[in-house]
Amino acid sequence: MSVLGYTIKRLLQMVLVLFAVSVIVFLMMSFTGDPVFMVIPIDSTAAEIEQARRLLGLDRSLLSQYFIFLGDMLQGDFGRSYVFRQPAMQLILERLPATIEMVLVAITLATAIAIPLGVYAGANPNRPVSRGIMAGSLLGISLPGFWVGMMLIFFFSVRYPLLPSSGRGDTVEVFGLRLSIFTADGFAHIILPALTLALATLAIMLRITRAGMMEVMRQDYMRFARAKGASRRSILFRHGLKNALIPVVTIFGLQLGDLIAFATITETIFAWPGTGKLLIDSIYRGDRPVIVVYLMLTAFIFVAINFLVDIVYTLIDPRISVK
């Protein structure tokens, strides 16, 4: 199948998934209490409540409410936040760059450390250093992110005040996006939250890389590469790593989606004004439109990342074709 045909097929799948998600999200939201109390003044009369309900369309059947919701969404109208009285999508998109830049720093950091260490530990499984790496990675998986975040703040902001622990710092506008990473102050602000986010991903990717390398090390082509006179570095990273990379890319994709969608705890700890913080605030305030859009966007991000991951598979292993 051609790449174009494949892409079209995947796009159709993506639409289906998003449709299913919209149904689930809508149903779940309709069970979470009456939103009318979010919008009316606390001393409203019964008639005023009734009128607000009619204005919001909450008096109609669930099915017709869903179709209004779906129809509006298809026209690009995702509803307005009850709290901010602004379009919900705009609210999220304003905060998305903050989350994404933090996540990208975190995942780059995690990958840059996890892959070399994983290759080393997989190629020399019996060395003390490898055992140390593996023990460390177990720690990285087990320690909860909020605790790590608090410890980092305690050591690097309180005990030794080297790095800021709260907010984004100075931002600068790049291509219409407000980013912290390009200013010195912003960069200092991004380090601790990114480190907190990176830790678990680093540990998982390291372990996956190591497992893949241990499997690959046993293969004949690795010995053949040695018999050709290739350097150890080239044997490990060119011949070995590429063969061990498929599961690593899978985990990378899942973790990337996970970090973007659910950086909530880290953003809360470091008062990072990203989407995660917006989500948690919206849940507390019962701000239904924001939650719905957020979940739809999350589903979209996951589906899109998965699509890219599948494309990357075919670039890594010629035996995998787009089907």
Q: Does 230 bind another protein (CB under 8 A)?
A: yes
* Locus of tokens 């008062």: 271
What is the closest distance, in whole angstroms, from the C-beta atom of residue 129 to another protein in the complex? 16
What is the closest distance, in whole angstroms, from the C-beta atom of residue 237 to another protein in the complex? 13
By CB under 8 A, name the one of 221, 271, 281, 308 that touches another protein: 221
The residues in 240-259 that bind another protein, with binding defined as CB under 8 A, are: 242-243
What is the closest distance, in whole angstroms, from the C-beta atom of residue 312 to another protein in the complex? 13
Q: Where does this chain touch another protein (CB under 8 A) — which range of 18-26, 153-161, 218-226, 290-298? A: 218-226
DSSP labels for 67-113?
A: HHHHHHHHTT---B-TTT-SBHHHHHHHHHHHHHHHHHHHHHHHHHH
Q: Alpha-carbon distance 255 to 249, whole Å?
A: 10
Q: Alpha-carbon distance 60 to 41, whole Å?
A: 22
Q: Alpha-carbon distance 81 to 75, whole Å?
A: 17
By CB under 8 A, name the one of 9, 54, 131, 228 that touches another protein: 228
Query: Cα 315 vs. chain centroid, distance in angstroms?
Result: 23
Q: Where does this chain touch another protein (CB under 8 A) — which range of 82-90, 145-153, 202-210, 214-222? A: 214-222
Q: Does 316 bind another protein (CB under 8 A)?
A: yes
Number of residues located near another protein, criterion CB under 8 A: 19
Nearer to another protein by Cβ, of 52 and 322: the residue is 322
Q: Does 19 bind another protein (CB under 8 A)?
A: no
Q: On the CB side of 309, how many CA atoms lie within 13 Å of its CA?
A: 19
Nearer to another protein by Cβ, of 184 and 227: the residue is 227
Closest CA to 177 of 252, 235, 98: 98
By CB under 8 A, name the one of 229, 233, 284, 323 that touches another protein: 229
User: Which two structure tokens, joined as six digits, stand for 275?
Assistant: 């989407």
CB 244 within 8 A of CB 209: yes
User: Which two structure tokens, joined as six digits, stand for 166?
Assistant: 């709260």
Q: Does 317 bind another protein (CB under 8 A)?
A: yes
By CB under 8 A, name the one of 168, 210, 239, 288 that touches another protein: 239
* Locus of tokens 């009128």: 51
By CB under 8 A, name the one of 227, 233, 284, 323 that touches another protein: 227
What is the closest distance, in whole angstroms, from the C-beta atom of residue 137 to another protein in the complex? 24
Nearer to another protein by Cβ, of 104 and 312: the residue is 312
The residues in 69-128 that bind another protein, with binding defined as CB under 8 A, are: none
Q: Does 214 bind another protein (CB under 8 A)?
A: no
Q: Are strands 172-174 and 177-179 parallel, antiparallel or unpaired?
A: antiparallel
CA dihedral 93, 112, 134, 138 (to 10 degrees): -10
By CB under 8 A, name the one of 226, 271, 281, 308 that touches another protein: 226
DSSP labels for 1-12?
A: --HHHHHHHHHH
CB 202 within 8 A of CB 110: yes
What is the closest distance, in whole angstroms, from the C-beta atom of residue 13 to another protein in the complex? 27
Q: At what angle do helices 88-123 and 128-142 cross, to 10 degrees?
A: 160
Nearer to another protein by Cβ, of 154 and 224: the residue is 224
What is the closest distance, in whole angstroms, from the C-beta atom of residue 310 to another protein in the complex? 17
CB 285 within 8 A of CB 82: yes
Residues of this chain that bind another protein (CB under 8 A): 219-221, 223-231, 239, 242-243, 316-319
